[in-house]
Amino acid sequence: MEDEAEIYDGIRAQFPFTFGKQAKSQTPLEKIHNATRRSDPLTTTTAATDNEKNNLPSISSSSKERLGTLRNPKSSDAAPIGPPPPPPRQQELKADDGDVMIGPPRPPQQQEDDADSVMIGPPRPAAESGDDDDDVDEEEGEENRRQIPMSNEIVLKGHTKIVSALAVDHSGSRVLSGSYDYTVRMYDFQGMNSRLQSFRQLEPSEGHQVRNLSWSPTSDRFLCVTGSAQAKIYDRDGLTLGEFVKGDMYIRDLKNTKGHICGLTCGEWHPKTKETILTSSEDGSLRIWDVNEFKSQKQVIKPKLARPGRVAVTTCAWDCDGKCIAGGIGDGSIQVWNLKPGWGSRPDIHVEKGHSDDITALKFSSDGRILLSRSFDGSLKVWDLRKMKEPLKVFEDLPNNYAQTNVAFSPDEQLFLTGTSVERESTTGGLLCFYDREKLELVSRVGISPACSVVQCAWHPKLNQIFATAGDKSQGGTHILYDPRLSERGALVCVARAPRKKSVDDFEVAPVIHNPHALPLFRDQPSRKRQREKILKDPIKSHKPEVPVTGPGHGGRVGASKGSLLTQYLLKQGGMIKETWMEEDPREAILKYADVAAKDPKYIAPAYAQTQPAPVFQESDSEDEEK
């Protein structure tokens, strides 16, 4: 046996170690996600200072420590070499029985009290000594409620101006982003690689900004609202399904028009009915539309105004059941209508002075108790729908410079968030501010961009990822915050999917361009007329004489004032050529030939001497001359 082993070793030594086709090493996911890890000093410093001032716990540090203790308890700095040591249970079996245990260790024995119950899932980590179970559960619940997936970040680029509209479908596979550059870009996580490029670009209305985007409940269509008076419906692939009609601007009563007559401000699809949408406009009305009928609306809602006239409706929103509509009016009031049989334009809830400036966003909670409002006055207000006289809480110092800045809830609605704009004299950039719904206090601030404002934000419940749109006058992008340990799919899929590498078997035919006029054989001969025109333009071939130089001379030629040629100029200066015509009287020069012409006429006079009468000239009148 030993001789055979030596023979095999000798044969194996003749072959290289990399014999055969080797599998390519893949980049581990940890290394890929480390490339997208956030390292923004603004986020850490801002969150730390706010937590120290408000005595708030550090969200990111606590969640990381907790997850680290659960996954790698008592992990050392140096990575162990070789297989991990067996668990203590296995060591005890080895010592007692002397046999080697095969397979995983047995689960720990249950207590006598829980003998009848069946344990499902992995065993819970043992609590430290001296801590109560109730306190641990409360701390874990608090941390789970405040866990924000923000350890990593990717940016969906492509827009040339600020991104003002955002919509993520309910499955979390496709993202829509609209911008002030008049375009809508469509992103697909399932077909997108690490280059993060959009698969389609649309321009709904030429020269009009995109103000809002909304998916249907079934995610097969989406609504696009621009600065024009007509909203558009697209299918999931970006094909136009229809455009709503525009009303007659010369009709005074808005209820008699078939559509909006001014630019739209906001639009939202019904949360449960896929045939109904809601739009608001600068003409001072809200309209409910049927998707199957593009020529007229179903209902026209006119808000209540203190004075007769037209005041723009800046935003609108459905509640989660679709039984209630809220609208933000240009005079700062908040009005709510309940959809019921025989309802009209009279609002059920009217807050006359909700904000001191235009309202940019309204958001209902799923239980129908809380209403959030965002405004240009730099504030975020929390309202109780049962008592709308005064807000529950007012959060200020939130600069807002864009009419599309919105508010969003977390998936469990324990937190709500909004974005801030960048001011000229401010040192902080665009932020995402998170607030606790129960305690009504600031939880965390996340720095998105040091020089760009944050407009739209969303926290997707299935992906557990946060979307925030940002930008300025020269660029725009959609920032996606995620955590590889807490988030699912979405950004994780496209980041981990590397671009396809070229194979040896790939073949691409080089395109051959045949130009019929490139070869002299197929080239058309120019006509003689064109040849003559070309020759006339050439001064050498046409033998064109030199034009006299006007003004001062150049290139060896003297100006026309002293002679056109250098030789003439030199002869004149030397006295060889004398010009007396400038000093002689022209009348005298002509009359000196009068006697010769009378005695010996040569040309005209001999021919008419016999036929012509004697010329009679007018004699001078002395009297006239004296006068």
CATH number at residue 401: 2.130.10.10
Residue 228 covered by a domain: yes
Contacts of residue 431, defined as CB under 8 A and 6 or more positions apart, other chains included, come to 46, 419, 420, 445, 446, 447, 448, 454
Per-residue tokens: 32: 């890929």
pLDDT reported for residue 96: 44
Out of 480, 496, 512, pick the residue that ends a domain: 496
Same domain, 317 and 461: yes
List C-alpha distances in Å: 141 to 66, 123, 138, 147, 150. 12, 18, 5, 10, 19
Considering the domain boundaries, does residue 125 fall inside one?
no
Residue 144's pLDDT is: 52
Residue with tokens 């496709």: 174
pLDDT of residue 341: 78
**Lookup: tokens for 400:** 């807002």
State the pLDDT at residue 565: 66
Is the same domain home to 469 and 542?
no
Q: How many domains does the chain have?
A: 2
Same domain, residue pair 397 and 542 = no
∠ CA 541-542-547, rounded to 5°: 120
Backbone angles phi and psi of 459, in degrees to 5: -120, 105
Are 289 and 298 in contact by the 8 Å Cβ rule? The answer is: yes
Q: Does residue 89 fall inside a structural domain?
A: no
* Pair (355, 437) in one structural domain: yes
Instruction: Write down the pLDDT at residue 67.
Output: 41
Q: Is residue 341 part of a domain?
A: yes
SS3 per residue for 552-609? CCCCCCCCCCCCCCHHHHHHHHHCCCCCCCCCCCHHHHHHCCHHHHHHCCCCCCHHHC
Which residue type, as a one-letter code, is found at position 601? P
Question: How far separated are the first and last CA of the chain, in Å rounded?
Answer: 159
180 and 312 part of one domain:
yes
The rounded Cα 187 to chain-centroid distance in angstroms is 12
Residues 432 and 288 in one domain: yes
Neighbour order of strands in the sheet with 221-226: 210-215, 221-226, 232-235, 240-243
CA angle 82/83/88 to nearest 5° reads: 130
In a domain, 191, yes or no: yes
Find the domain containing 568 and state its range: 528-596
Residue 558 and residue 487 in one domain? no
Burial of residue 554, with CB atoms counted within 10 A of its CB: 0-12 exposed, 13-18 middle, 19 or more buried:
exposed
Phi then psi for 465, rounded to 5 degrees?
-130, 150
Residues 562 and 418 in one domain: no
Q: If the chain, 627 residues long, is cut into consecutive pieces of 10 residues, what is the mean pLDDT of each piece?
A: 58 52 61 75 44 42 44 43 46 43 55 44 46 52 67 90 94 93 93 87 92 94 94 93 92 88 94 92 93 90 86 93 92 91 83 91 92 94 92 92 93 93 86 92 88 93 93 90 88 74 68 73 76 86 77 65 63 70 80 83 76 76 59
Could you tell me if 249 and 359 lie in one domain? yes
Burial class (CB in 10 A: 0-12, 13-18, 19+), 324: buried
Q: Are 396 and 376 in contact (CB under 8 A)?
A: no
Antiparallel, parallel or unpaired: β 240-243 and 264-269: unpaired
d(CA 475, CA 452): 9
**Cα–Cα distance for residue pair 487/470, rounded to 1 Å:** 22
Q: What pLDDT does residue 33 have?
A: 76
**Is the torsion defined by CA of 512, 516, 518, 519 positive or negative?**
positive
- What's the token pair of residue 354? 């909700």
Three-state DSSP state, 71: helix
Domain-embedded: residue 504 = no
What integer pLDDT is reported at residue 184 of this predicted model? Answer: 95
